[in-house]
Structure formats: C-alpha cells, structure tokens
Amino acid sequence: MNYLDYPPETAADVVRVRRRIEEAGLPPKLVDRNLLIGTWNIRAFGRVYPAFTENPESPKRNLRALAIIAEIISRLDVVAIQEVRRDVSGLRMLLDMLGPAWGVIVSDVNEGQAGNAERLTFLYDRRRVTPSGLAGELVLPPEWGDKAIQQFARTPYAVSFQAGEEAFILVTVHIKYGSGDPNERVPELEAFAEWMANWNRQQTRYHPDLIVLGDFNIDRRDDPRFEAFVSRGLNVPPALRSVSTNLATGKKAKYYDQIGWFMGRLNMEFTGRAGAIDFSRAVFKELTRTQMSFRVSDHLPLWAEFSIDRSRSYLIQALDLDDTLPDPLAAVPD
C-alpha cells in the first residue's frame, strides 16, 4: 500500500517519519553500490489490530503503527528484528505491507520463562539481498561447563546473506534483561563474545565476514556490560558509539542496541555512515511517548551502511521507492 492510500492520520505520520529518516542521514538504496543493515527491537511484536483505528482493548498496535514500522524497514536492505512473539500474524501483516519483494527468515520460539516466547527474525529486500545458505542458532557447548551460564536464554541466530559481490553472516541476539540488576547480563555477554571470537578464528567458517547486531541491553559505554561485549575483540564503529537507542522518555540514555564486528576483519567496507532513526514525537502525536511505544516500539532502529561496489565505477542509481510521487502532505507540521 502506498502512503497516499493511507487514512490522513497515518499518512501524516509517514510523512513525518520520512523527514526523520532524512534527518538521520540514512542514505538512499543505491543499486550495486551500497548495503544498508539495520537492527530493531520492536516491542512485543505479536498480534496486530487489523484496522487503522484505535483498538479499545488489546493489542494496541494497529495498521497505523504497522505502516510506520513498514516505512522505516523499507528504507533498509536487511533488518534484524528482536521481540517477535510466538504469534507471527503481525509479522505476516508487515510482510504484506512491505510487498512481494520482501522475504523473512525467523527462528522458532525460545521456550522457557527466560526465553519469553520470543523469536529472532531477519527481514530482507530480495531485490538487494539474498540468503546464501547458512541459518542456525548459537548454542554453548558442554565443554564450556565452567562458564557462569549453561546456555543462552534466547539463543543467538545466525543467517548468511549475499549482496552483489559481498557475502556475510549476520548474528542477532537479545540478551536477557534479568531481574533489574544490570550485572546479571554480564555472563551472557561474555559467553556471546567468546563464541564469536572462536568463530572469528576459524578459517573455514561459512563466510569470512561476521557482523553482530541486536539488543544487548547495555546501559552505558563505560559500564561492565559494554566491556563484556568488547572483551574478545568485537567493537562498534565510531559513528555508533554515542547513539542512544532507548525511546527518549526523560530517562538516562541507554545503548541497548548495537551493530558491531571485529575491526579490521571485514572484507566489506564500512562507509563510516551509521545512526539511529528517532521517530519519537513524530508519530501518534496525540499520545504520550509511553503509549506510543506500545504501538510502534520503545527502541529506536539502528543502521549502518557498507559499500558493495569494489570497482567503484558503477553508475549510481537510486532504487525506486516512490519518492518521486507528488506529496500532497508536504505541509504536514513536524
């Protein structure tokens, strides 16, 4: 569905989101030139109320919210989604809204109380990215029995992709939040970092390039959670080191979501451009930000751009995203 076909409130939200995307510096999709990788924890993404109007009961997420989510995701090439629930009816509705060019790869449900009935998911634009064969969960081996955890609460999910000449593995994770003591997250972060470091040392891994992304529940850059994340060589690019990804509700900035890799070990070239898309105060303006978070999310999407043009001699062509259509809502206020 094109945004011109949306009800006025929804269309106005989409216009404002497009402005926020532009303000975030997210570049356009360029054919044979760049790759846009994203990650987003979409709060409790399960059922969706199948109307643009408000649901007086539950769920609060409706088609208006789904249109906002689809607009953001459509600007990226492959996106890791956390907190997809057991009920995937909302995910299927999102795919319908994105259109037939989009594909999905989703894990099964993480069972058990700590698993929170969540799935880890990748959405990808098939015009730009194709799966290249690998898909699997990261499971701690029995030999690591002396570790502080026996197993990940929500097993990280790895999927390989191909974009132009480049092949890479994305590993997404949702680190257990715990009872409220942030130090409870350290053992999982350390185990994940060690798993990735071991994988990075394997010369026969499926593809050389490993990129990790997801919700790592890291509070600050200088805290023990971040130190656990980078303890085995993983790191995040400078463009993302000061980017807060929690919804701005007056609370202290959090750096829950990350995109990182082993610096100096990628074949793909990071362009240096990355950031978050802050949709807060731009959508559902009649609601509080907390109320809005149950419709869209309480996390901001994070993105990073990579070059897939090794020759650098391709003609730059922007992928058609219907941006050339007349915009009758150009006067929508921010």
Percent of the chain predicted with pLDDT > 70: 89
State yes or no: pLDDT of 249 exceeds 70. no
* pLDDT reading at 316 higher than 50: no
Task: State the Cα–Cα distance between residues 261 and 230, nearest whole angstrom.
Answer: 10
Averaged over 230-248, what is the pLDDT?
88
pLDDT at 4: 64
Question: In the predicted model, what is the mean pLDDT of the chain?
Answer: 88
Q: What CATH topology corresponds to 3-307? A: Deoxyribonuclease I; Chain A (3.60.10)
pLDDT at 164 over 50: yes
* Cα 205 from Cα 147, distance rounded (Å): 24
Residues 191-224 as b/e (b if ≥16 CB within 10 A, e otherwise) read bbbbbbeebbeeeeebbebbbbbbbbbbbeeebb
Average pLDDT over residues 17-27: 97
pLDDT at 150 (0 to 100): 77
Sorting pLDDT into bands at 50, 70 and 90, what band is 246?
A: confident
Handedness of CA 147, 148, 153, 154 (dihedral sign): negative
∠ CA 182-257-168, nearest 5°, is 130
* Banded pLDDT at 223 (limits 50, 70, 90): confident
Contact 115, 152 (CB under 8 A): no
Does position 313 have pLDDT exceeding 60, yes or no?
no
What digits encode the pLDDT tens for the residues 48-89? 999 999 999 999 999 999 999 999 999 999 999 999 999 999
pLDDT band (50, 70, 90) for residue 248: low
Which has the minimum average pLDDT: 128-132, 187-191, 225-229? 225-229
Domain-by-domain residue ranges, the chain? Answer: 3-307
pLDDT tens, residue by residue, 52-61: 999 999 999 9
Map the chain to HEC letters: CCHHHCCHHHHHHHHHHHHHHHHCCCCCCECCCEEEEEEEEEEEECCCECCCCCCCCCCCCEHHHHHHHHHHHHCCCEEEEEEEECCCHHHHHHHHHHCCCEEEEECCCECCCCCCCEEEEEEEECCCCEEEEEEEECCCCHHHCCCCCCCCCCCCEEEEEEECCEEEEEEEEECCCCCCCHHHHHHHHHHHHHHHHHHHHCCCCCCCEEEEEEECCCCCCCCHHHHHHCCCCEECCHHHCCCCCECCCCCCCCCCEEEEEECCCCCCEEEEEEEECCCCCCCCCCCCHHHHHCCCCCECCEEEEEECCCCCCCCCCECCCCCCCCCCCCCCCC
